[in-house]
Amino acid sequence: MARKTRSRTRSRPTPDPAERARDSAQKIWLAGLGAFERAKTDGPRVFEALVEQGRNMGARAVGAADQALKAMREADYSGAGLQKLEKMVEARVSRSLERLGLVSREQADDLARQLGELNASLQAFARASLRPAGSAPRGRKRAAGRKAAAARPAARRAKGGARKARTKAKRRAS
């Protein structure tokens, strides 16, 4: 006889995506509140524990540096060995500073260079924006006027003498 087998999987209605997002947002909110409460109650104790761990780590680092220095003195390293040790120390210090989020010397120099370039371009922009619109620097305007005057016929120049005097007076006033 053939037996009917029941499906062991039950068909559950899939929750609405908006409902899932709302549930997820509420869980995140509650987790944030829980973290805030824990930080408020456990914060000072955790801070003191971290300070103590830092002291222990600092003491170990000083001990390790003393041992390395002692070993170096005993081994009587040459100048090349000292340079190698110096590079190793610099590499470790720079990695530690990167982990702490501090800027390296090269990055600081690069930022200073970029800041200088930005400052120079802003000053140039400020100088250009202070000039009245449509006006050229003084030297170019005068040279252009001389060229135009040389190109005019002599009779026309004589006629425009009064106008030229008025223009010069306006320039002096401004």
Q: Return averaged pLDDT per consecutive 10 residues of the chain, 174 residues in all.
A: 57 76 90 84 84 84 84 69 82 81 80 91 87 60 56 55 69 70
pLDDT (0 to 100) of residue 8: 58
Looking at the domain assignment, is residue 149 inside a domain?
yes
Looking at the domain assignment, is residue 172 inside a domain?
yes
pLDDT (0 to 100) of residue 113: 93
pLDDT (0 to 100) of residue 120: 92
Single pTM value for the model: 0.26
pLDDT (0 to 100) of residue 27: 92
Domain range for 152: 144-174
pLDDT (0 to 100) of residue 138: 58
Looking at the domain assignment, is residue 35 inside a domain?
no
Q: How many residues does the chain have?
A: 174
CA 11 from centroid of its chain's CA atoms: 53
pLDDT (0 to 100) of residue 117: 93
Nearest partner of 145 among 122, 167, 128, 112, judged by Cα: 167
Looking at the domain assignment, is residue 128 inside a domain?
no
Residue with the two structure tokens 């209605």: 13
pLDDT (0 to 100) of residue 53: 86
Looking at the domain assignment, is residue 80 inside a domain?
no
Number of domains in the chain: 1
pLDDT (0 to 100) of residue 135: 60
Kindly state the tokens that stand for 114. 């970029």
Question: How many whole angstroms separate alpha carbon 2 and alpha carbon 42?
Answer: 65
